[in-house]
Amino acid sequence: MKAANFDSLTYANRLKAAGMDGGLAEVQASVMTEVIQDHFHTLSTKQELQQVGQDLRKEMNLMGQDLRKEMQLLRLEVQKDMQLLEQRMVIKLGSLMVLAIGVVATVVRLL
């Protein structure tokens, strides 16, 4: 980032013109210059913020794609589990039907 462009003399003159005491205006201008010089390097430019925004959007898109892939895999896994449960239920139901037919046949023979 380029250096801060702050005119402390103009700032002090404007404070004096507004009615501030000359010594106080100069101290104010000096302090303002120090603050700007000391902290200006921590500020971000509009371009840097736009780049961060673009980077975040890209990362969010990638995360969304990953999430959709994971959801699809989970959906397939659930479908597979449901098919296995259905097969097990069919086998158990068939076993119960065979047992019921056997019980009915036994009861018919006994009568």
pLDDT given at position 2: 54
Q: How far is CA 91 from CA 3, 36, 97, 104, in A?
A: 79, 79, 10, 20
pLDDT given at position 3: 53
pLDDT given at position 4: 61
Mean pLDDT of all residues in 72-92: 97
User: Using one digit for the tens of pLDDT, what is the confidence trace for 23-65?
Assistant: 999 999 999 988 888 888 788 889 999 999 999 999 999 999 9
